[in-house]
Structure 1
Amino acid sequence: MQVGILGPVEAHSPDGRIAVGGPRPRTLLALLAIRVGEIVPLDRLVDELYGSTPPADAANALQGQVSRLRRALGDASLIEFHPAGYRLALPEREVDAHRFAALAADGRRALEQGDPQAAESLLSEALRLWRGPALADVALDGHATRLEQQRSAALGSLVAARIRLGKADVAQVQDLVRQNPLDERLRGYLMQALNQQGRQAEALQAFEDARAVLADELGTDPSPELRAVHLQVLRGQTHRELPAQLTTFVGRQEELRRIAALTSRLVTLTGPGGAGKTRLALQAAGPGAIFVDLAPAKDVAAATLQALGLKETVLEPEDRLTLALRERSALLILDNCEHLVVQAARLAGHLLSTCPSLRILATSREALGITGETLCPVPPLDPEQSVALFADRARLVNPAFVLDRHTTDICRELDGLPLAIELAAARTRTLTTEEIADRLNDRFRLLTKGNRAAAPRHQTLRAVVEWSWDLLSVQERDLAACLATFSGGATLEAVEVVCGHDVEVLDALVDKSLVEASDGRYRMLETIREFCSQHKRVDAAHAAYFHDLARRADPELRQRDQVRWFARLTAEHANLMQAVAWAAEHEPERALRLVSDLSWYWYVKGSRNEVLGTAEKLLSVVEEETTERYAILLALAAPERVQAVLTRLEGPITQPFVLIAWAMLTGPPDPGAPRTPLQDEVEHSDDPWIQGLIGFSNSYTGWAARGNRELAIEQSREALRRFQDLGERWGAAQVLDVLANLTQDPVEALALTDEALRVVAELGAKEELAEFRQRRGDRLLDLDEAAAERDYLQALEQATQAGLAATRALANAGLARIAWRRGDPARAEELLRDAQRELGFGWMHTAAKQQVDEVLEELLRSRGA
């Protein structure tokens, strides 16, 4: 059912038009439709239907009219009775007046947001709903007047949209002026429409007509706004409208809010090419802004004159612009200033000082650098916005496009750069997202088909970056190419040492949006880095610098300042991995030393699996030797071969990872086996860290062998003191864990475990966090089963991330115990079988397998197997 009141009152069902009846049923239907979905009070309906002479029994008379209307509509449920009144039970969209109001509101909103094309479409659709004067055949003058006012306002907004599009209908505007002679806004639209058609004399006469009418009727002069339009016509101004956008605007809400909140008269949007600065400026500008595209220009003032529709005169262009803008409250968008940044800065400074009501919104890859400028960086899109943009653009070329996991990978690899994402999305017409993701290692070749109507520098990804590259000085290009060697960004010290350039050149690259500066590090977007790295690389100097850093950092990792040094190496993780990989291929001797110097960092951080491939490659090219560094390489790449080297190794020991690998892979020494030189070296070491490790090891193995708990606790506390004196958290955490095993107080055991977890969390030690969490589950199992289950699940997740099969197996064994206790032996056996399959080579795996097998045997015995 649909009801129309924008014209004669009528109703339509799916079968056609309905004969509503005489004036009173039509009036009643109109009254209910005006407030569709709401309860209209009985007394209001009586007043509107019968006026000042209602019948004696008005309530019954109203009820009779409702009954007639229900019969006419053919569905009594459409008009509901409530104690307070009657309600037309239809959605608002089924009444043309409400549909009109919604479309008109959307149109006005589009106009306010700077989209006259959408505004014209929405407002035209709204006005097409009118079939004549509102409520033409019923006596509801107040309601009709209100609706006609809404219609007039929508017509005015439609005219405004068409003026901004340069296609206003002069005759239509003249007709509106005749109907509303005192509406100055419509008078201004008429002047603008005439001026756009080159009828300047008529536009000036329209102003004089307005002046006369206002004086005669109201005794007032034209408003400042109307006088400003008059001044535009006098100066021959028909400024260029904002470019209409062909796609939806996605994201950037935070940036839009920031721009709206800024009070500076000069705001410059800065960011790399393809970041979406122009689109953001257009979205933020709103209606009436003056848009100047400087990309193809050679003279900023001349381009601005052209955008304003002004001809050059004997006046200097700057003075001509001042004359045009001095008395206007306007927003000037200077787009793509980077290649004319000096000219743009000079003109902006001149206009802002001579035109007090002028504001400027500039876009540039570097700041204009004048007093009063506020910078608004335009960063890459966040992951959610990136995916939304990709999906929106992909569906334009492939309506069946569906998001998948590769979409997120593509957006991440493209740094959230809007242009790159749009170019990639355009490829979904012929490629799957998986195929696009696989080809991003050659992104400049892949992303070559863009919008043919766009400026050439925005048609391909390479053109975008080349535009920035071409604007750099020789020194800036050299530093950009060198900096592109760094895969994980760089500190100022690294840039100066590896690249040989000072901070001024680096600052210039930051200013020009080629490099991002944050938290003392300098980074390039991956797209820019890939382009710049094609021009020059400094891999040897890069590897030498980071090898020196690793060598300096290694002893500090076992001292009081270890948290800071772990954080420093973590920040350089990508660069360190890059240096190792490059050295393994080009300088194997350096690579062998670098692997040794990084071994403790990798162990504590749980990064050994990450380096496996490089270690295996290095092992294949270096000669076998009985050295500490070769033993470390074997522990990483071929652990089954490391014991043969360890039994011949004599020392001195400088890398603790050798001792950890010895313990992990071979287990506690056999008291009956011949002593090795390494054992003698370790036991007689005067290194306090190694002394602490020996005390910790002796307490653990002595207790396991002899069961002397008091002696083990005494030795552990001495080891703990040594580590705490050093400020060494990893060693302290290991001893705390042993003490938790030794104590017979379960509450104390939990407290010690929690302290161990806290200490290794400071280091970000992934493996220990997983191991201690699993042991915490063991210690909770008989105290709080639900809490133990949570710890096991967390340990399982952490062990998976760290690649610890033994810890995963033990966590699954704990979960199997819980499943068994809860009466689910089948689930328990499944978890234990999974745990058995995970275990492999090494003493830790052997020890874990023993525990898993014991639980499984106990389970099978209980089931009678």
Structure 2
Amino acid sequence: MRFGLLGPVEIRTDAGGSVDPGGERQRTLLALLLLHTGRGVGTGRLIEGLYGDEPPAGAANALQAQVSRLRRRVEALGARVESVPFGYRLDTGPATVDVHLFEDAARAGRTALAAGEYGRAAELLREGLALWRGNAFEDLAPAAFAAGEARRLEEARLNAREDLAAAELELGGGAVLVPELRGLIAAHPLRERPYGLLMRALRAAGRTAEALTVHEDARRTLAERLGTDPSPDLAALHLELLRPEGAAAPRPLPARLTSFVGRENDLEQLDGLLRTARLVTLTGPGGAGKTRLAQEAAERRRGQVCYVELAPVRDAAGLPYAVLAALGVRESGFPDRAGGADALERLLSALAACPGLLVVLDNCEHLVEGAAALAVRLLGAHPDLRVLATSREALSITGETLVTVEPLGRAAAVRLFTDRATAVRPGVDLRPGGEGHARAERLCAALDGLPLALELAAARLRTLTVGELADRLGDRLGGPGDDRFRLLSRGDRTKEPRHRTLRAVVEWSWELLDAAEQRLARRFTVFAGAVTADAVRQVCAADDAEDVLASLVEKSFVTATDGRYRMLETIRAFCAERLGAEEETFRTAHTAYFLDLAERAEPHLRGAAQLRWLDRLEAEHTDLLAAVRHGDAATSLRLLACLSWYAPLRGRAGELAQAARAVLETVGPRPPEGLAEEYVLCLLAAVDHRAGPHGTAADDELTARADRLVADLIGTLRRPHTLTLWSLAAGPRTSTGAPPEAEAAYGDSSPWAAALLRMGRAYQQLFAGRPGAAEEDFTAALTGFRATGDRWGIANSLDPLATFAHWRGDHARALALLDEALVLVTELRAPEETADMLMRRGHVLLHAGRPREAVALFTRSAELSRSVGVPDKAAGALRGLGDAARLAGDTARARLHYEAAVAVGTDSWFGTGETLRVLLGLGRTALAEGDRAGAEECFGQAAVLAAGQPGRLIPAELAEARAEACAPERAAELLGEAEALRGALVLGDLDVVRTREAARSGLTEESYRAAYERGRRARA
């Protein structure tokens, strides 16, 4: 028998047949007894449930009659209603009642969910929810017991539905959950958890912008209907959504594809040394296992690790960039956002956000002096930093602890050889006591226990037996079978014997390759990084590249990870010696391949496929720069021109600048015929991003040369982004926009170019105090960029449009626009721009009367800026924290934040603007403290800075701030001046609104308007 209460009351036989549960009183009595299955229910409770608070006379007798009728009905089905001293009990098990089954399943499902058993949780919760056939007690009168129990069960049902959604999210659910969660929110708008689940589901479905709007809906609903803010959990989820993926996340240690054998004592030694010594250098010959030992030691260490592969770095200037990349920190992007830090300064700043970090500098030997200098700077700047280096020679700096990586001992060498041999040739018998083991011991001794030599030798077991392998290598050194280790006597005998041993083994392995394998191995050395099979096929003229690469991987000449192939540096050096006269041919093929890739990618960097092509170029970044270095002048200029938009979008401008400067040294002061625009882009790429006051004389000269060339090229430029990079090279310009010739050249060439021109013109209108025309142009630019799908353009159009909405006091619109922009810059993996957007969003929230949320965003923005090594970018966020404290009346805390903002600012265009606004904040703080002299001093300093700033926006802000310190009539005049300068009345700024209200209250309306108009006319 089965009883159902989760819907209309029902009784079913074990065979599934339905039994009439009787009239309403019978159903109510049955429900009361079923809710307490196996336990007695008092007569008073039953009478109250049947008849309410005012039972009729003779209710006890009526209850007995109802019990009798129910007893007859259920006894016919095998159940019993028993009398107990104080009432009645239905003798049936909980497993026969859907309520109890549901509650057990919901409880077990929640426990499984908390334990991370998401599959089991989902299964249990689905089973429990499937028991519901409608609303609990659906066909009972709304008696007190039924209403209360129904509410309790409905709450449990909602919790179970939310738990199930949470489990399904963890199992990979996303878009499929969105309709159900939206339905839950519509039915229960005051429950917070569905909002959070919907936000997570939308993010999982790649719809982060919608997820951000859900948070805004939740905040508005809770504020309007309950007068509360979202919970800390929902606010934290919102911040999580705004956090850019991959921002300042150290690169993980490379995946190890084989087991680590031996060196247990070395690992213990390193573990102890890394607790006390700040610089540990592993030295030893190539192939001794330094890199693998360093990786294993780093893996065992608690805390963050930053692994830096230095083998592809060609000169010391590239070392900071290599560490920045490994740290997950983008270089500065576009010049107007650059903030003024060079690569080393940025690196030192970024490391401040990584306390206790271990930096592994692998393969330092070819740049040992540069690596030593870098280590000194890193260790000197951060006392809790550790450096673990690998090199064939010591870095030779104070405080260095040297660990010589010796060859493996006999037992460990045999274990390593056996491990690799059995992986290559399952079933090979190398057990102790056998002939195979004895041969393996002698072979390992002959190879000096060098891990790379052992790996190469073991790889040959695919085609040789252990005996044949030993015979080929020379089972007895110097004996008659020694036809390979005669090589030990060749070459420089002053070198360590194991250097010669390794060379001998590599040469022996080389000679066992067939002609096709040798040919591809030689040609492969023109690649600088890890490459695809397609690249190898085309560059190395190898139609059978995949088959030959697979063979080289099997023979340990090449490694393969995630579909990309790379050659160990020791083997690369050996194979490169054999490239000989072919080198020029295949370097040319290498350059041509990567030029073709860059030229194919370049148009897509401005469209809907932007992210895919950016990722493709980033994956080939090392070889793209190698192609720039090795190409002839014309090829290098063309390649640099193609990369000039990719580099700032992906934060690679600093590395490109190094390559560009080298190309300029080769090309000279004048562009080659037909490559003037490419030469301009090379000049602009070579300019230090610390333009303006931070730039060097050389940078100024490069910019001046670019200016002269662009003036001659206007009207003939072919690349849509040339004008953009040119105009950004020295900060915003005060001209009225692009020259007419540029409009003619670009306007009809592509939607992206037309949108770019409208954006440029919009900024000029904005700086000139014509916000109406600026907003019209930004809107047109946004439409154009949306048509192309360019995230960069869309985000950079949404940002100023949000400013206009904020000026009008339309905070909801401003937040919506910034939220969309935030999603786009996050997709572009642009943490600097994300920090900016968070800061701007914080300012809108602050002036919208939501200070707690604003403070959370300012804090996150400051943290993000520091983590990516641009503390000066935190100035705006710290200013926001100062504004929030000042508006809350905490002037002491406000001063601390403002002073911190000044300390991290720079004198770049961006940094100067922030410093000026901080001074206005300090002046307002002084006014709040009654210190008018102090306020005027701050405003005076701001005025000095404002004199060197372009446009009319900064003077407008200065006039509004100074109005706070003035009598009402003068305040009205200054407010009028501010509107005339900006071209718009600001309704969304609390400081300006308060100043306006104070001036109005001190004057008649007529006097206020007259003074205001005088100010307007003075600045019109």
TM-score category by the smaller chain?
0.3 to 0.5
TM-score (norm 2): 0.41
Larger Rg: 1
Bigger RCO (CA 8 Å, 6+ sep): 2
TM-score by length of 1: 0.47
